[in-house]
């Protein structure tokens, strides 16, 4: 929780303000930038993660998610840099696969004294290599037929992270076949 993240306006623009991850996720929090990435493979499958999460634990979500970080050298991560860091940490994917930014969504979800208050940038990419998942981040992962996933998230949204339920609307609008 000792990371510095970027405060965002309702349009996903960094306001120039920085906040600790802890403050951003306590009470009503403060809207900040995040990313969610959904990887697909050449078999028309998407990679889902059964996430270990402090606020929304034991749910399924997209391949990965994280926040844009303010680095010690005074610079801020781009959406792509945050995504590559996430994929490297959570799955051991070191290569910089091509990514496409589809857009973003605002969402708020509370759980007790904690919350998520984010502008979530949604990215997709294709990956067909070997995964080395970090067991500290997720309970498990699975490749799922994209049509089965779309059906399940529509019929059973409570099984999924609130940001994934919102983000899938953008994915469906922008990608044919997903």
What's the pLDDT tens digit per position in 64-90?
999 999 999 999 999 999 999 999 999
Higher pLDDT, 16 or 52: 16
pTM: 0.91
What domains can be seen in the chain, in order of their start residue? Answer: 4-174 (3.90.79.10)
Which among 99, 103, 96 is positioned nearest to 121, based on CA atoms? 103
- Give residue for tokens 């034991």: 58
Confirm if 5 and 71 have CB atoms less than 8 A apart.
no
Confirm if 114 and 138 have CB atoms less than 8 A apart.
no
Q: H helices then E strands: how many in the chain?
A: 4, 9
- Confidence band for 175, pLDDT divided at 50, 70 and 90: low
The predicted model gives 157-177 an average pLDDT of 84
DSSP per residue, 136-157: TTEEEEEEEEHHHHHHHHHH-G
- Confidence band for 177, pLDDT divided at 50, 70 and 90: very low
Which among 79, 67, 84, 55 is positioned nearest to 4, based on CA atoms? 67
Per-residue pLDDT tens over the stretch 96-110: 999 999 999 999 988
Bridge partners of residue 69, in order along the sequence: 5
Beta pairing class for 32-40 and 114-126: parallel
Beta pairing class for 99-111 and 114-126: antiparallel
Q: Which tokens in the block code for residue 99? A: 């990514």
Which among 38, 43, 25 is positioned nearest to 145, based on CA atoms? 43
55 vs 35: CA distance, rounded Å: 16
């Amino acid at each position: 929780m000792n990371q510095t993240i970027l405060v965002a306006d309702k349009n996903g623009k960094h306001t120039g303000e920085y906040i600790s991850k802890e403050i951003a996720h306590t009470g009503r929090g403060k809207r900040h930038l995040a990313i969610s990435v959904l990887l697909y493979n050449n078999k028309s499958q998407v990679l889902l993660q059964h996430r270990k999460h402090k606020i929304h634990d034991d749910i399924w979500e997209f391949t990965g998610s994280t926040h844009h970080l303010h680095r010690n050298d005074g610079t801020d991560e781009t959406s792509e840099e945050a995504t590559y860091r996430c994929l490297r940490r959570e799955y051991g994917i070191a290569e910089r696969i091509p990514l496409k930014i589809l857009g973003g969504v605002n969402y708020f979800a509370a759980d007790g004294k904690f919350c998520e208050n984010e502008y979530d940038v949604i990215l997709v990419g294709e990956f067909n290599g070997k995964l080395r998942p970090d067991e500290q981040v997720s309970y498990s992962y699975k490749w799922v037929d994209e049509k089965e996933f779309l059906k399940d998230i529509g019929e059973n949204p409570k099984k999924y992270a609130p940001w994934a339920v919102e983000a899938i609307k953008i994915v469906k609008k922008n990608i044919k076949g997903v």
